[in-house]
Amino acid sequence: MAFRIAAILPLACAIGVVFVLAATPSLAQRTRNQISGALVQLPVGNQSAAELAEAAAERRLINEVRNVPTRAIKVEARDRLAVIAEKKPGIDLEIDFDPGSAVLTPLGVGAVIELGKALSEPEFKGQVFMLAGQADGGRLDAPNPGLSDRRVEAVKQYLVEKFKLVPTDLVAVGLERIRTRRPDGGGWRARVVNITP
């Protein structure tokens, strides 16, 4: 099973990362520099009152879910996070797991190591990233409905243990449906989203 992860850039004390696809190289060969380059936050210009209110609502939601275990995040919050993720820049990664499980393959570990190197760079210190994933290409009849949660949690756990990233700076959430920037829609995909308003 492949895991495609999208990362959205950070928001100081909020959330953020989205992984954006490029034509080449293949997703499994993404490097630390490609990942970190895609996660650099662009400055935000002047915002209207409505945009400021929306940004404040996004920050509240992000702060609410930062300390919540993956499986305890409510459906409404997941849906709102998916909408936020749609608006943010990022990069897709392919991360392999053993079929039907949340056990990373050696190839999957290599992809997570590159992600960990990128997120460990000093420019991202204190920023928050959302790891969002969907198992089995979004098939609602998938035999393992909690698989998305377990896979994003496995990636988060690896990043925390091996790269000493702050757990509350990584929000892991499995989603029933996420839109990736890939047309094929196969396998398990995830998005790391910078939801910085």
Write out pLDDT tens, residues 108-130: 898 899 999 999 999 888 888 88
User: Comparing C-alpha atoms, which of 189, 180, 107, 119 is closest to residue 148?
Assistant: 189
Write out pLDDT tens, residues 161-184: 999 999 999 989 887 655 444 444
Phi/psi for 69 (5° steps) reads: -60, 150
Confidence (pLDDT) at 95: 83
Confidence (pLDDT) at 159: 96
Residue identified by tokens 């400055």 is 43
Select from 3.30.1330.60, 3.90.1150.10, 3.40.50.360, 3.30.360.10 the CATH code of 2-40+47-193.
3.30.1330.60
User: Comparing C-alpha atoms, which of 107, 83, 105 is closest to residue 191?
Assistant: 83
Residues in the chain: 197
Query: Residue ranges of the domains in the chain?
Result: 2-40+47-193
Confidence (pLDDT) at 154: 94
Confidence (pLDDT) at 13: 33
Model's pTM, two decimal places? 0.75
**Which letter does DSSP use for residue 174 in this model?**
E
Q: Please give the Cα distance from 170 to 17 (Å, whole number).
A: 10
Confidence (pLDDT) at 177: 53
Confidence (pLDDT) at 3: 47
pLDDT tens for the chain, residues 1 to 197: 454 444 433 333 333 333 332 333 455 467 888 888 777 776 777 888 998 898 899 889 988 988 888 889 998 998 888 888 777 777 778 888 888 888 998 988 988 999 999 999 998 888 888 887 766 554 444 456 688 889 999 999 999 999 999 999 998 988 765 544 444 444 456 677 665 54
**Which letter does DSSP use for residue 67 in this model?**
T
